[in-house]
Structure 1
Amino acid sequence: MFLTILRSVEELLYEVMSWLLFYPRTLLMTLRHPLKTMRYSDAEQRDKPEKQYLETLSPPMFLVLSILLAHGIELIAGFGVEGRHTGLGAMITASDQNLLIFRALMFALHPLVFAWAWLHLSGRKIDRDTLRPPFFAQCYLSGATSILVSLGSMGVRDDALWTTLLGALVILVATIWYIAIQRRWLMSVEGMTGRRAGLWAFGLFAATTGVVIAANALVE
């Protein structure tokens, strides 16, 4: 029993410490070569589970750690959830764990929608097996975007004018970058034109972001 606990602690310690190396590597890889990173994820999905994502973090883990890191930066900078809440908002903001779970669900909504759209436009059957590869690939993109948007949001919420303007610029650039990458990704669908892919990318982003904003209004 004691040896089992020690081995579990050993694996946990190694896993957590490895994040210090693989998180920045995954973030830099995603920001510099987003489409290549997404194709890398697709290729990894064809490997055996124990051989997947040996050189990077797995996409969902990368997304969760990005949200956790952004939340930690918010707390250090003095940006917490303020004010009194009732109903669902009170439940979500009752603890950091609840808030992190809520944010993870919100940032995972875009990957789900775009993964569904890619399969739908490709004319492929949508089930748990076919949805997994595009969803995982999208989590890389969403993880990188979550960091940029969170940093930009802190700037917007700051009292200084220059940080507000800088934060708004970061969010704008991150949004344009995200939509542009989604457009290029959707163009991998056979018969998809650049104009049509752009409309799909913008429309899906706008609709999904609208849902996220409405949901976030519950905790404001």
Structure 2
Amino acid sequence: MMKLIQSLDEALYSVMSWLVFYPLTFWRTMIRPLEMMAYADREASDRGEDQYDDAIRPPLFLFITLLISHGLELLVMGQNPLIADRHGLAALVDSDFALLGLRLLLFSLFTLTMAVTLLRRQGTRLTHTSLRRPFYGQCFAAAPFALLIGIGTLMMSGGRPMLDVAGLVTIVAALVWYLGVQSLWFSRKLGISMLAGFGNAALATIISLVLFVSAAVIIS
């Protein structure tokens, strides 16, 4: 019984602490994304209980952000038509939780592609240990990008010209912000020019988008 109470105590504290640390993490990521990505690198060296003591863990941060985006969609549009679709692989997405999981996997493609591209450019052997640091850092950058893409797409689903324009502007702004962050990240990590950093960022983004769209088309 005491173990159950202790587990409940930890779970409740963890969830409620998100109300404080999530907005702080989001603000820091939007304003100083490269610092947060470097922070993820440093925290990887700490002991498990000391990691991310003043922020949300990167994969969890991405998950909560997508949860917020999904909640906005439910509030504005109601249930996504994909959930009601029972044709082909779309039948696997039979609940909001499954749709949320799918979106998490799709946006994680960006984090994975960026992380792998960096390791390849550095000539670093690809292992679970070497991949974790850049992957965690990329989760910080992917979260605001995913939220802005979700908001922009939601705006464009209403069929109103003004909202369509605002949605398109939001999506373009998200891409510009994301590419800018990634260009700086590659430039600093590899010791190359901003232009070369942009080239690496653009290539990795294109690969991610191709994988993202391909997976979305197959499932839908």
Q: Classify the TM-score, shorter chain.
A: over 0.9
Aligned pair 1:76/2:75, yes or no?
Answer: yes
1:195-206 correspondence to structure 2 within 5 Å:
195-206=195-206
In the alignment, the residues of structure 2 paired with residue 172 and residue 46 of structure 1 have an alpha-carbon distance, to the nearest angstrom, of 36
TM-score (normalised: structure 1):
0.95
Aligned pair 1:168/2:168, yes or no?
Answer: yes
Q: Alignment length, in residue pairs?
A: 218
1:19-47, Cα deviation, whole Å (9 max, x unpaired): 11111111110000010111111111111
Deviation at 1:84, TM superposition (A): 2.8
Deviation at 1:98, TM superposition (A): 1.2
Deviation at 1:194, TM superposition (A): 2.3
Deviation at 1:190, TM superposition (A): 3.7
1:41-190 correspondence to structure 2 within 5 Å:
41-82=40-81, 84-92=85-93, 94-190=94-190
Q: Which residue of 2 aligns with 1:18?
A: 17
Q: Which residue of 2 aligns with 1:9?
A: 8
Q: What letter corresponds to residue 127 of structure 1 in structure 2?
A: T
Q: 1:182 to 1:143 in 2, by over 3 A?
A: same
Q: 1:134 to 1:50 in 2, by over 3 A?
A: same
- Whether the 8 Å CA contact 1:85–1:219 is kept in 2: the answer is no
- What secondary structure sits across from 1:54 in the alignment? coil
- State the Cα RMSD in Å: 1.3
Q: Which residue of 1 aligns with 2:207?
A: 207
- Whether the 8 Å CA contact 1:121–1:189 is kept in 2: the answer is no
Deviation at 1:91, TM superposition (A): 0.9
Question: In proportion to residue count, which structure has more helix?
Answer: 2
| Unaligned 5+ runs, structure 2 | none
| Unaligned 5+ runs, structure 1 | none
1:50-81, Cα deviation, whole Å (9 max, x unpaired): 10001000000000111111111110112432
TM-score (normalised: structure 2):
0.95
Q: 1:72 to 1:95 in 2, by over 3 A?
A: same
Deviation at 1:4, TM superposition (A): 1.4
